[in-house]
Amino acid sequence: MFTGLLDCSILKRAQDKKLVEFAVHNLRDYTTNKHRRVDDYPFGGEAGMVIQIEPVDNVIAALKLQREYDEVIYTSPDGEVFNQQIANQMSSYENIIILCGHYKGIDYRIREHLITREISIGDYVLTGGELAAAVMADAIVRLLPGAIGDEQSALSDSFQDNLLAPPVYTRPAKYKGWQVPDILLSGHQAKIDEWKLQQAIERTQRLRPDLFEKKD
Ligand code: ADE
């Protein structure tokens, strides 16, 4: 599932252009037991299996021998909620490890000793962290210079500046009697820019007033 998502659209193009490289590692390849088991029963007797520390420690140690990492991230609903500021920050990183969470959890010592940051993509529970990692990868990689066609468009995204994007329209200017706002057809760039800003502010106030309270 995860590699399929990485090989689509912008993520695929960014890899083809050598802007980013992904390496997906299977924990089973870092086990030392005969059956390549990566989980075991929890101490204290709860239901469900827990990912063991050894294969996780092994994979992280093997990767760190090859290069330095800016962050070792664990995807979990307990984490800091991912947003555009975090995507911006991570787009400047050289190397990131993302350890995908597991529905019943991982040995807590991994989180205490090996992880530098825990990230959630929202207040809901996924079955595993793969989709969360793919969401983060998409949001981060599209910010890399050259990843999307129009360099300007990443800067004018919703959430840059904590404002939602203004509406956009294209031809035809009138469809079934539905009209594109006159200002956009006026050719008066300064007035158009002012209208876009007003729209961005109005939409943010109406739809996401919480964004206005963010100062960063
Ligand atoms: N794993 C399970 N649910 C998650 C979430 N909401 N965000 C990140 N990782 C998760």
For ligand 1, the distance from its centroid to the CA atom of residue 60, given in whole angstroms, is 20
HEC sequence for the chain: CHHHHHCCHHHHHHHHCCCCCCCCCCHHHHCCCCCCCCEECCCCCCCCCEECHHHHHHHHHHHHHHCCCCEEEEEEEEEEECCHHHHHHHHCCCCEEEECCECCCECHHHHHHCCCEEEECCCCCCCECHHHHHHHHHHHHCCCCCCCCCHHHHHCCCCHHHCCCCCCCCCCCEECCEECCHHHHCCCHHHHHHHHHHHHHHHHHHHCHHHHCCCC
Q: Is the CB of 127 under 6 A from ligand 1?
A: no
List the beta bridge partners of residue 98.
73
* Residue 215: CB atoms within 10 Å: 5
How does pLDDT run across 36-55, given as a tens digit for each residue?
999 999 999 888 899 999 99
Greater confidence, 182 or 6?
182
> What is the distance between the alpha carbons of residues 99 and 136, in angstroms, rounded to a whole number?
12
For ligand 1, the distance from its centroid to the CA atom of residue 73, given in whole angstroms, is 12
Domain boundary assignment for the chain: 2-141, 156-215
Contact between residue 79 and residue 120 where contact means Cβ atoms under 8 Å apart: yes
> What is the distance between the alpha carbons of residues 129 and 132, in angstroms, rounded to a whole number?
5
Residue 210 pLDDT greater than 70, yes or no: yes
Kindly state the average pLDDT of the residues 94-113.
93
**CATH number attached to the domain at 2-141:** 3.40.1280.10
How does pLDDT run across 129-140, given as a tens digit for each residue?
999 999 999 999
Residue 215 pLDDT greater than 60, yes or no: no
Q: Is 213 exposed, middle or buried (0-12, 13-18, 19+ CB in 10 A)?
A: exposed
The residue whose CA is least distant from atom 5 of ligand 1 is 77
* Topology given in CATH for the domain delimited by 156-215: Trp Operon Repressor; Chain A (1.10.1270)
Left, alpha or beta for 35 (phi > 0: left; psi -120 to 50: alpha)? alpha
For ligand 1, the distance from its centroid to the CA atom of residue 178, given in whole angstroms, is 41
- Residue-level length of the chain: 216
How does pLDDT run across 187-200, given as a tens digit for each residue?
999 999 999 999 99
Q: Is the CB of 124 under 6 A from ligand 1?
A: yes
User: Would you state the structure tokens that stand for residue 85, as one six-digit string?
Assistant: 């500021």
Of 73, 75, 104, 138, the one to substitute when testing ligand 1's pocket (max ligand atoms within 8 A of C-beta) is 75
For ligand 1, the distance from its centroid to the CA atom of residue 216, given in whole angstroms, is 24
